[in-house]
Structure 1
Amino acid sequence: MQNDLLKLVETQRELRKRIGYNESDRHEKLVLAFLVELGELANETRCFKFWSKKPPSEKKKILEEYSDGFHFVLELGIEIEYDFSEPITISDVPNTTIEQHFLKLSQQICSMRYWSKGGNAFFYKHLLDDYIKLGMLLGFSWEEIVQAYYKKNEINHTRQESGY
């Protein structure tokens, strides 16, 4: 898992460099973008829509949305200069509902607005761990998450070429 994560971070750094946005509002925009992506993911799972009988989207669509958020998890870690060489160990899937996990992640993401470079490594590590756990709660393996990340990263590079 650690080697995969380090490769994912390097791949994200390449995309970051290609995008090239380095304005002073970058951090705040990343936090907001991550919140939006988390909301889009929740919407596709329909986990909170107690008023609706419509089923969740297909697993493929949910994984794609999850992958969008994973890009921002990595991006925010890069932004605060997190040391990704720190070993990560993902504990078991949490004994919470998906809704509770979405709410926990939303709180963690909002707190990131106030984080600065070089700080908050402890909290970022928990955010990264909890986002990976969300993928597990949604039924994805680590291998599926990694593959989906690379697939979406390729799409993101193509979008940069076309002026998306």
Structure 2
Amino acid sequence: MNFKKLQAMQAKLDEAILADKAPMTAEGRFNKTLVALSVEIAEVANTVEHFKFWKDNKGKIDESRFQWHGELMDISLGDRDKLVDLRNRMKEVSPKQAHRLTLIEECSDALHFILSLANQANKELVGFNLVPFEAAKEEKYITIQSTICSLVTSYGRNKQVDLEYLMDYFYDYVESLGITPQELEQAYYDKNKINYERLENGY
């Protein structure tokens, strides 16, 4: 993954977002971003549903994008041109594929906030350094949330180190869900464009 490019893109997006927002302290912004990341990581887990031992049919689908029509799925967007374009690119989308697309997008949302945190802490991300954490997905998830909590009180070098761990733990979790670095990076680029469109439309 090209972290230098990703962090530069995220810095530009954050600047555009903050341009019309009320001023806040650096600490306040950092903590709000931590909460946002914590929620996004929870949404990743809730999309996969790996922790739902009581449920046999796991795997959520973004129903605002994918709706059932027999064996195929219809993509619903308000924009007719986008709808035609998506239909051309995705003639047949199975439930499994729709779930995977939903999951990849949720992971890219989390990546946006990790990049933002790194930028706020002046931490340059360079790659993944951690040996895969041999544990159940639930343990991987809890480790990420624990690391997010530790960042609330991290200072100086500790914050830099905790951000490295956070990136490593996050990708270890994502990889355990079957998402490749290439898919995650491309999803970031795709969602980044959508985020600018949302800004233009007063999201």
Q: TM-score, normalised by structure 1?
A: 0.90
Q: CA deviation at 1:94?
A: 2.5
Q: CA deviation at 1:53?
A: 1.9
1:79 aligns with 2:120: yes
Deviates more, 1:117-126 or 1:35-44: 117-126
1:40-55 to structure 2, matched below 5 A, reads: 40-55=43-58
Q: CA deviation at 1:163?
A: 0.8
- Higher RCO (CA < 8 A, seq sep 6+): 1
1:103 equivalent in structure 2: 142
The question of whether the paired residues in 1 share the 8 Å contact of 2:144 and 2:166 is answered with yes
Q: Select 1:11's aligned residue among 9, 33, 38.
A: 9
Q: Give unpaired runs (5+ residues) of structure 2.
A: 61-98
- Kindly, what percent of the aligned residue pairs are identical? 29
CA offsets 1:13-56 (integer angstroms, 9 cap, x no match): 11011001551221111111111111111100101111122221
Greater Rg by CA: 2
Helix, strand or coil: the match of 2:133?
coil
1:156 equivalent in structure 2: 195
Distance 1:156 1:117, change over 3 A: farther
CA RMSD of aligned residues (A): 1.7
Give the aligned residue type for 1:43: N
Q: CA deviation at 1:117?
A: 6.0
The question of whether the paired residues in 1 share the 8 Å contact of 2:128 and 2:171 is answered with no
Give the aligned residue type for 1:9: Q
Q: TM-score, normalised by structure 2?
A: 0.74
2:48, 2:104 → 1: CA distance?
A: 10
Give the aligned residue type for 1:140: I
Count of equivalent residues? 160
1:113 aligns with 2:152: yes
Q: Give unpaired runs (5+ residues) of structure 1.
A: none
